[in-house]
Amino acid sequence: MAAELSPHLLTEKHRPTLDRALDAIRSRAYWSPHPEHPKAYGEGGSPGSLGAADGKAAFDAVLNTRIDLGQPGTDGWTGGEVSPYGPELGVEYPHADPDVLIPAMRAGMPAWRDAGPETRALVCLEMLARISARTHEFGHAVMHTSGQAFLMAFQAGGPHAQDRGLEAVAYAYEEQIRAPRTADWSKPQGKRDPIELHKTFTAAGRGISLLIGCNTFPTWNGYPGLFASLATGNPVLVKPHPRAVLPLALTVQLAREVLTEAGFDPNLVALAAERPGEGIAKSLAIRPEIKIIDYTGSTAFGDWLEANALQAQVYTEKAGVNTIVVDSTDDYRGMLSNLAFSLSLYSGQMCTTPQNLLIPRTGITTDIGEKTYEDVVGDIAAAVTGLLGDDARANALLGALVNPEVRARLEKAAQLGEVALTSREVANPDFPEAVVRTPLIVKLDGTKPDDESPYLSECFGPVSFAVSVDSTADAVELLRRTIRDKGAMTVGAYTTSPEVEGALVDVCLDESAQLSLNLTSGVYVNQTAAFSDFHGSGGNPAANAALCDGAFVSNRFRTLEVRRQR
């Protein structure tokens, strides 16, 4: 093949990055090749990297256009995204006939398989590098589909998403080379000649991988599955959330360009945009060609996929109820400001945002004296109010509500109990149509949890519950029940007591949840760092997979052996 991206060039460009990523997932020390600061892009960034102005211009240029991916089976065009900030995006995407597109996607599988794990990984790294170079453009695309404020959209939708994609590639690569490419096997036979076999081992993808994207984090939640499947030899069909197509359509476009330049079939990555109300995820998910599904979204549909798409490996991230246990702290102000930020970021519309703050009715011990339950709740509310007092800062932190359902839920939640902090409407001078709301905090009694307790359901959005409990021991037990029955992407706790810490660790190990202890400065319970932190555990009802571990990649391919007598 006369590929522009030769294996040699790919190795030179990306093998060092792959090696660093492999080191990072083993050491789990801090590392990222994707800068977080917007100024790191453009002049002085990677070749072709777009700076702030160019990135914005690129985004503006794609608005009101048709993105023609050149996919087989395109039977029309669809679109209709409206930014949570107000504007219609006006972008049209190809609508696919799956009976044509899906068989065409399989055609490139053998060559992609035969390329081997290293070339596949390096091609994926080239895709990620091109995405990285356009991080500013992706930032705007994520902002105007998710409602995240620009800086968050830039970071979470850009470098952090790219990190998670790269992490998945590293895991996929490492998993596939656990068996050697060849082995010579010689079994002694006493005085007779040994029996000798020559063996080859090939990592082969399973079939088409379906990515069902989400509205809030189209790239961050999409890239791990996309790149894990592609790196393990599977074509990937990307079915974005109808409200968040653009970031994934741009991703598919870049991926197809890179595949072509590297001499592979571009149809190894394709887009399945849907018409309004079409609901194609369900019919795609149970097609026999679909062997892998990655999904982020509601528990109901996630459970449906797990129960019905039995022909596929299904990786789901669903709803959960995240808890913070407040027992004691030696940095009360640090705790308050850390929690205020966690509750406010992206208006609580993260699967990792804390929902239930479990606070003993008897109060807590802090570095500045005993604090009653009322003190703690009031001080958290005040910290949020202080953090978001300035409208510009509030807009930069909160972003916009992603859809009307979140707004409706927020309004209803104020009826659930005594309101400790009222949700405030914030005006966005740049986007008057954006619905911007500060977090609501509602006081609830956690003494006798039952199935009707509002704090035992996910209330997705800027809503938290200050749940009073009789004691820290009761908080720990409520935490256990919450994780076991409802799942949790994150658990946080504040305590200076080794006994309480031990009990919290035990609960999280028993019930399979990731625990953050005593965060008071620049790390927040809702943020995880690729290469070091696991996102979710895969062991409680909130998700059946973690990002990223061996289990996330090992079933996306099979190792096939050919043995020959020598």
Among 54, 118, 411, 533, contact with a copy of itself (rule: CB under 8 A) = 533
What CA–CA distance (Å, rounded) separates 154 from 142?
8
> Does position 178 bind a copy of itself by CB under 8 A?
yes
CB of 60 to a copy of itself, least distance (A): 31
Contact stretch for a copy of itself (CB under 8 A) within 73-81, 249-257, 348-356, 555-563: 555-563
> Does position 26 bind a copy of itself by CB under 8 A?
yes
Distances (CA, A) of 328 to 324, 334, 367, 497, 499: 12, 12, 9, 8, 12
CB of 358 to a copy of itself, least distance (A): 18
Decide the pairing of beta strands 74-79 and 436-437: unpaired
What CA–CA distance (Å, rounded) separates 491 from 356?
10
Among 43, 47, 189, 277, contact with a copy of itself (rule: CB under 8 A) = 189
User: Which residue lies nearer to a copy of itself by CB, 353 or 423?
Assistant: 353
Among 81, 137, 163, 175, contact with a copy of itself (rule: CB under 8 A) = 175
What CA–CA distance (Å, rounded) separates 153 from 140?
7
> Does position 514 bind a copy of itself by CB under 8 A?
yes
Residue count, binding to a copy of itself (CB under 8 A)? 68
**Longest C-alpha distance within the chain, in Å?**
88
- How many residues are listed for the chain in this entry? 566
> Does position 526 bind a copy of itself by CB under 8 A?
no
Contact stretch for a copy of itself (CB under 8 A) within 188-196, 350-358, 390-398, 440-448: 188-196
Among 70, 87, 110, 404, contact with a copy of itself (rule: CB under 8 A) = 110
Among 515, 530, 542, 547, contact with a copy of itself (rule: CB under 8 A) = 515
> Does position 299 bind a copy of itself by CB under 8 A?
no
User: Which residue lies nearer to a copy of itself by CB, 88 or 367?
Assistant: 367
Which residue bears the tokens 């129960």? 307
User: Which residue lies nearer to a copy of itself by CB, 290 or 413?
Assistant: 290
Q: Minimal CA–CA distance to 84: which of 299, 341, 399, 398?
A: 399
Site string for a copy of itself, 484-513 (x = CB under 8 A): ---------------------xx-xxx-xx
User: Which residue lies nearer to a copy of itself by CB, 150 or 557?
Assistant: 557
Contact stretch for a copy of itself (CB under 8 A) within 138-146, 408-416, 458-466, 529-537: 529-537
Contact stretch for a copy of itself (CB under 8 A) within 137-145, 359-367, 400-408, 533-541: 533-541
Contact stretch for a copy of itself (CB under 8 A) within 105-113, 236-244, 351-359, 469-477: 105-113
Among 9, 52, 82, 179, contact with a copy of itself (rule: CB under 8 A) = 179
Q: Which residues neighbour 310 within 8 Å (Cβ) at sequence distance 6 or greater?
A: none
Q: Minimal CA–CA distance to 399: which of 220, 156, 159?
A: 156
What CA–CA distance (Å, rounded) separates 139 from 154?
4
Q: Provide the token pair at 183.
A: 């082995």
Q: Provide the token pair at 426.
A: 């914030």
Which residue bears the tokens 């007598």? 565
> Does position 109 bind a copy of itself by CB under 8 A?
yes
- DSSP at 156: H
> What's the number of CA atoms in the CB half-sphere (13 Å) around residue 192?
6
Q: Which residues neighbour 202 within 8 Å (Cβ) at sequence distance 6 or greater?
A: 113, 559, 560, 561, 562
Q: Minimal CA–CA distance to 358: which of 500, 263, 485, 261?
A: 500
Cβ(209)–Cβ(234) below 8 Å: yes
The enclosing H or E element of 421 equals: strand 418-421
What CA–CA distance (Å, rounded) separates 376 from 339?
11
Among 4, 185, 447, 457, contact with a copy of itself (rule: CB under 8 A) = 185
CB of 327 to a copy of itself, least distance (A): 14
> Does position 427 bind a copy of itself by CB under 8 A?
no
Positions in the binding site for a copy of itself (CB under 8 A): 25-30, 109-110, 113, 175, 178-180, 183-189, 195, 197, 199, 201-202, 204, 206, 306-307, 310, 505-506, 508-510, 512-523, 529, 532-534, 537-539, 546, 549-551, 554-555, 558-565
